[in-house]
Amino acid sequence: MDQLIQDIENIPRDVRFGRVAGIRGLLVDVADIGNAVGIGSRLALEARGGRKVEAEVVGIDQGRAQVMAFGSLEGVGAGARAEFVAQEPEIQPDATWAGRVVDAWARPTDGKGPLKPGGTPYRLRAAPPPAYARQRVGPRIDLGVRVLNTFTTCCRGQRLGIFAGSGVGKSVLLSMLARYSKADVTVIGLIGERGREAREFIEDDLGPEGLARSVVVVATSDEPALVRRQAAYTTLAIAEYFRDQGKDVLLLMDSVTRFALAQREIGLSAGEPPTTKGYTPTVFSELPKLLERAGPGTAQGSITGLFTVLVEGDDHNEPIADAVRGILDGHVVLERAIGERGRYPAVNVLRSISRAMPGCNEVDETQLIGQARRLLSTYEDMAELIRLGAYRAGSDPAVDEAIKYRPAIETFLTQGKDEKADLGEGFDRLAGILEGAAA
Ligand SMILES: Nc1ncnc2c1ncn2[C@@H]1O[C@H](COP(=O)(O)OP(=O)(O)OP(=O)(O)O)[C@@H](O)[C@H]1O
Ligand SMILES: [Mg+2]
């Protein structure tokens, strides 16, 4: 009897619904839903045979809701019922989620059983904390990767972009960060990856040791744009939960480019005009909304965010790379030529910057990095001539010095994927290498 009463209480009091009035490509027009829905609201479309298709409102046009579906529209016809489900999607993350792999709805996909929901709902599309209420970025964080620790030192709550072409070592670098950084927990969003790669990343690169302290959100490239975009929101929402628990979270997203592509697909379907390179205006308004959610919190706890950006054809000035660079607090550039030379991680230190530097480092450390950069850039300027054998030793003392220190610095920048680095040790080692070099 109690159960029956409970069940009756749980029946939604008013089921609001509209009717499908038209379908154009991926976009469904829903009429008569009234003012119940807004952008981001969830509906369930009823297909033939009673199958329910989850959908999201992406636009409103002349009183009709324009919705896109999370699944196939097969069997959805004119007049089909479109039931209102929720104003806004939420998830309830929990500390026990560490070590798990989930989908865009935070449902487990690793076959390790159900996930325990936490006590507080987190909105998938939460707004970033207000700028004035936010803490400043904290002390520096040991990322466990030597070249990043020293040449682009990162603070707790900072956000860095990792810019790279395909196959230049993004995944390996992210897995090193997940395994070796001194963060309390890592939240990893694999957005729009090829299915095979997501699995390889989790099993081979991350391994059991990396996975144990991570929550991984996966949406593969074959899933609809709405799902891929939502996976990015879910990644942020989970990171926000851990941040609110006072944890220092490391958030890794691979890649923001695929998030932008998903938003473009949604925007174009909803009838937005394409602008630069086919990207729609909402791509450029959604990017900061997403990226700004990483950062320091309003109390203890922070989200340090590293976001990869695919630079197709190694064009670092394409619109997404440009937009992301403008939003984040620094960028790390991975270069194919460096990887081909056999130096991994293939970071071009001369083109990478962290905007928290030099503020977060000691004076002598800043000096050290300045010195190393100078040597590298002197070498870089002369690299062609040196390689051709056209440079004569002794003609310029600065170049001679750059040539002399080059091999040791290159070795310093190299780090195997199974090698862990320590922040303090990195600076000490660099100091040892540069001893005797002109300041
Ligand atoms: N630290 C490292 N040490 C040795 N080899 C590395 C290292 N990092 C990357 N590599 C080499 O580079 C290859 C490509 O790396 P990775 O898969 O991380 O690239 P990616 O940028 O993620 O590629 P994609 O764009 O296809 O996702 C690896 O298979 C490996 O051979
Ligand atoms: Mg990869």
**Three-state SS letters, 260-295:** HHHHHHHHHHCCCCCCHHHCCHHHHHHHHHHHCCCE
Measure 309 CA to ligand 1 centroid, in angstroms. 15
Q: What is the rounded CA–CA span in Å between residue 196 and residue 340?
A: 24
Q: How far is residue 38's CA from residue 65's CA, in Å, rounded to a whole number?
A: 8
CA–CA dist 40, 56 (Å, integer): 6
- For ligand 1, atom 5, name the residue with the nearest CA: 344
Count Cα atoms within 13 angstroms, Cβ side, for 32: 13
Q: How far is CA 433 from CA 142, 170, 350, in A?
A: 21, 28, 18
The ligand 1 atom nearest the CA atom of 166: 25
Tokens at residue 288, please?
């900061």
- Report the alpha-carbon angle 264-269-270, nearest 5: 100
Q: Which atom of ligand 1 is nearest to the CA of 346?
A: 8
Name residues with Cβ closer than 5 Å to ligand 2, which is an ion.
170-171
Closest CA relative to residue 420, chosen from 219, 213, 222, 175: 175
Cβ atoms of 45 and 55 within 8 Å: the answer is yes
Query: Do residues 168 and 387 touch, judged by C-beta distance below 8 A?
Result: no
Listed residue (260, 236, 261) closest to 124, CA to CA:
236
- pLDDT at 265 (0 to 100): 92
Q: How far is residue 323's CA from residue 317's CA, in Å, rounded to a whole number?
A: 9
What is the distance in angstroms between the CA of the first residue and the CA of the last residue of the chain? Answer: 83
Distance from C-alpha of 112 to C-alpha of 158, rounded to nearest angstrom:
33
Could you give the 3-state DSSP secondary structure of residue 364? helix
| Residue whose tokens read 């950084």 | 181
Query: Tokens representing 51?
Result: 């199958």
Residues in a beta bridge with 403: none
Cα–Cα distance between 92 and 177 in angstroms, integer? 26
Instruction: Show the ligand 1 pocket: residues with CB < 6 angstroms.
Output: 164, 166-172, 344-345, 415-417
Detail the DSSP E strand segments found in 223-266: 248-254
Q: Which of 171, 255, 418, when mutated, tests ligand 1's pocket best, judged by the most ligand atoms within 8 Å of its CB?
A: 171
The protein residue with its alpha carbon nearest to ligand 1, atom 20, reads 167
CB atoms within 10 A of CB 288: 15
Ranges in the chain, pLDDT < 70? 8, 10-14, 314, 438-439
Looking at the CA of 169, which ligand is closest?
Answer: 1
pLDDT of residue 11: 63
How many Å lie between the centroid of ligand 1 and the Cα of residue 422?
A: 22
Whole-number Å distance between alpha carbons of 167 and 349: 19
Residue with CA closest to ligand 1 atom 7: 344
pTM of the predicted protein model: 0.90
Gap between the Cα atoms of 50 and 47, Å rounded: 6
| CA–CA gap between residue 341 and residue 318 (Å, rounded) | 26
Q: Which two tokens stand for residue 20?
A: 């499908």
Rounded CA-CA distance 281/353 in Å is 28
CA dist 175 → 102, 198, 208, 354 (Å): 17, 12, 11, 20
Q: Is 52 left (phi over 0), alpha (psi -120 to 50) or beta?
A: beta
> 230: Cβ–Cβ under 8 A, 6 or more apart, which residues?
89, 104, 105, 124, 219
- At 41 the three-state DSSP class reads coil
CA–CA distance, 402 with 398 (Å, rounded to integer): 6
Residue 131 Cα to ligand 2 midpoint, Å, equals 33
Residue of the CA atom closest to atom 23 of ligand 1: 167
